Amino acid sequence: ALSPAPLQASSWWGTYVEHWHALLNGTDVPAPAYVLPLAVGASLLGGNAPLLVSLILVLSVPVGLWGAWRFLRVAGHLRSAEGASRWVLAWGSVIYALIPITSGAWGEGRLGTVVAAALLPWIAHAALGFGDPEPDRRWRAGWRTGLLLSLASAFTPALWLAVLVIAVVVVSLALLISPGVVRQRSVIGP
C-alpha cells in the first residue's frame, strides 16, 4: 500500500503544486491531502523524505501509546474520582498502541491507517475539553480537536464521516438530556 517515498521533499512539493500529474494518460485531479503534511515534515528534516516516512512508522507506536494513556487516564477519572489503576492504563495503552502492528497496517505500509491510529486518542482527549465549564478552554479544545482531526483526515479521509456521525449523536443526546443548557449562547458558541 505504501508507494516508494521520493528521495527529496521537493518531489512532494512539486506533486502538491502541479496542476497536471503524469499518471497513465495524465490527470488534472489534485494531489491527495496527505502530500502537504508529508512535504512540510520532510522539509523540516532537511528534505529527507524516506527518513520522514520511517519516523512516522516507527514513532506511531509510542505516540499512540502516550495518547491512549492520557485519554484513558482522563476517562478513568470521569468514571470515578480515584480513576483507573495504573495496570488498567498500562494494558489498555499498550494494547491500543499495538493495534496498527498486529492488524498488519504497519507491515503493509498503510500510512493512513497508522497515522490515524496514532492520532485518534489525541483527538478523543482534545474533544473531552468540550465538556469543560470555562468557555476559553472549550474554544482551545475546539482548535486542538480541529487541527488534529484535519491532520488525521488528510491521511484517512473517511475519518470525517465517522466524526460527523459521532458529533450528531452527541449533540442529539445533549439536546435530549438537557435542552435548555445546550441552547444557551455561552454553551453553543464555544
Tens digits of per-residue pLDDT, 96-152? 999 988 888 888 888 889 999 999 999 999 988 887 878 888 889 989 999 999 999
Closest by CA position to 100, among listed 113, 82, 87, 81: 113
Residue 188 confidence (pLDDT)? 61
- pLDDT exceeds cutoff 90 at 184: no
Grid cell of 52 as nine digits: 520522514
What percent of the chain has a predicted confidence (pLDDT) above 90? 36
Residue 4 confidence (pLDDT)? 66
Count Cβ atoms within 10 A of the Cβ of residue 119 and give its class: 0-12 exposed, 13-18 middle, 19 or more buried: buried
As a whole number, the mean pLDDT across the chain is: 85
Residue 66 confidence (pLDDT)? 96
Residue 153 confidence (pLDDT)? 93
Half-sphere exposure of 189 (CA within 13 A, CB side): 8
Bridge partner list, 8 = 48
DSSP secondary structure letter of residue 28: -
The set of residues, in sequence order, having a beta carbon less than 8 Å from that of 124 and lying 6+ positions away, is 71
What pTM, to 2 d.p., does this model score? Answer: 0.83
